[in-house]
Amino acid sequence: MTIYSHIKKSIVESERLLAVLIDPDKTELDTIEGIVRKINQSVATHIFVGGSEVDEGATEAVVQAIKRYTTLPVMLFPGDVTQITDEADGILFLSLISGRNPDYLIGKHVESVSKLAKTQLEVLPTGYILIENGKQTAVERVSNTKPLSRSNKQHIVDTAKAGALLGMQLIYLEAGSGATHPIEPEIISAVKDTLNIPLIVGGGIRSKTELEAAYKAGADLVVIGTAFETNQLFFEQLKL
Ligand SMILES: CC(C)=CCC/C(C)=C/CC/C(C)=C/CC/C(C)=C/COP(=O)(O)OP(=O)(O)O
Ligand SMILES: O=P(O)(O)OC[C@@H](O)CO
Ligand SMILES: [Mg+2]
């Protein structure tokens, strides 16, 4: 079964999906075995690997190490073309539709085609929507774009809908890694109501309460990076 069919099947069966984000720049290779064993024992269903700025080659080494210790699907979540590696199972082929920088809407995608053609990666076209949360995020800085205002819900909904109409298979609502506040439940539910494709939500989720709130509002897959980076027992606490 493809990664995408599995995501859709899980939604039909009301299963909650959870991805752990591993940032190759913040992860020493010799710590990966321990990290992945903790992830295997947790409720996580996917591993995402990526960052806004990652040294060339770092992603490949990290994914190779992760794959040694898990059978969970490993998806690239790349900030740039250099992060593409055939060692992963799939790639979130992100188009930054909240912004108006052509490089992040289509440019890097064109650039990546010859590299992707040499891989077996499952490509998942994803409308990536950055929403402001009070401080500048790495994505904002690197892409030189402005996030959508969180007070204009209709504009966020229309952006997600436009992505779906363009044929994107996933929509990702992003508050930014380490965001001070996660995406508000009202925004998640408004977007969910207009979509019939899976919805990913991430950024700033640091507690079981916030995680539950995201699912309750309609997130199909939640991404957690910082909370696990800073406390590897975070997923243990989710079981309680
Ligand atoms: C098409 C290909 C292969 C690449 C371009 C993909 C696009 C358009 C990306 C969108 C913009 C972008 C820079 C996304 C990065 C997403 C990401 C992995 C965020 C994770 O958090 P960080 O931004 O690394 O936060 P920290 O640096 O604080 O850890
Ligand atoms: O690091 P956190 O804040 O959990 O964010 C995860 C992810 O959505 C960032 O791209
Ligand atoms: Mg990073």
Residues near 186 by beta carbon (within 8 Å), at least 6 away in sequence? 153, 217
Q: Give domain limits for the chain.
A: 3-9+16-239
- Structure confidence at residue 185 (pLDDT): 98
> Which CATH architecture is the domain 3-9+16-239 placed in?
Alpha-Beta Barrel (3.20)
User: Which of 110, 177, 205, 228 to probe ligand 1 with, by most ligand atoms within 8 A of CB?
Assistant: 177
Question: 146 with 176: CB under 8 angstroms?
Answer: no
Q: Does ligand 1 have an atom closer than 6 angstroms to the CB of 112?
A: yes
Q: Does ipTM surpass 0.95 in this model?
A: yes
Please give all residues whose beta carbon lies within 6 A of any atom in ligand 2, as ranges: 21, 174, 177-179, 202-205, 223-227
155: part of which helix (H) or strand (E)?
helix 153-165
- φ and ψ of 85, to 5 deg: -145, 140
pLDDT tens string 176-209: 999 999 999 999 999 999 999 999 999 999 999 9
The band of 232, judged by pLDDT with boundaries at 50, 70 and 90, is confident
Residue of 223, 232, 234 to mutate, ligand 2, most atoms within 8 A of C-beta: 223
Q: Is the minimum distance from the CB of 39 to ligand 1 under 6 angstroms?
A: no
Distance 125 CA to ligand 1 centre (A): 15
**Per-residue pLDDT tens over the stretch 145-161:** 999 999 999 999 999 99
Whether 239 shows a pLDDT value over 80: the answer reads: no
Query: How would residue 223 be classed by pLDDT, with cut points 50, 70 and 90?
Result: very high
| Index of the ligand 2 atom closest to the CA of residue 227 | 4
Quick: pLDDT tens for 81-114. Answer: 999 999 999 999 999 999 999 999 999 999 999 9
Nearest-ligand number for the alpha carbon of 88: 1
DSSP assigned state of 95: E
The alpha carbon of 240 and the centre of ligand 1 are apart by a number of angstroms equal to 32
Q: How far is the CA of 21 from the centre of ligand 2 (A)?
A: 7
Please give the sequence-ordered ranges of beta strands (E in DSSP) within 106-154, or none if there are none: 122-130
Mean pLDDT, to the nearest integer, of 43-71? Answer: 97
> What pLDDT score does 240 carry?
61
Which residues hold their Cβ within 5 A of ligand 3, which is an ion?
23, 51
Residues 115-173 have pLDDT tens digits of 999 999 999 999 999 999 989 999 999 999 999 999 999 999 999 999 999 999 999 99
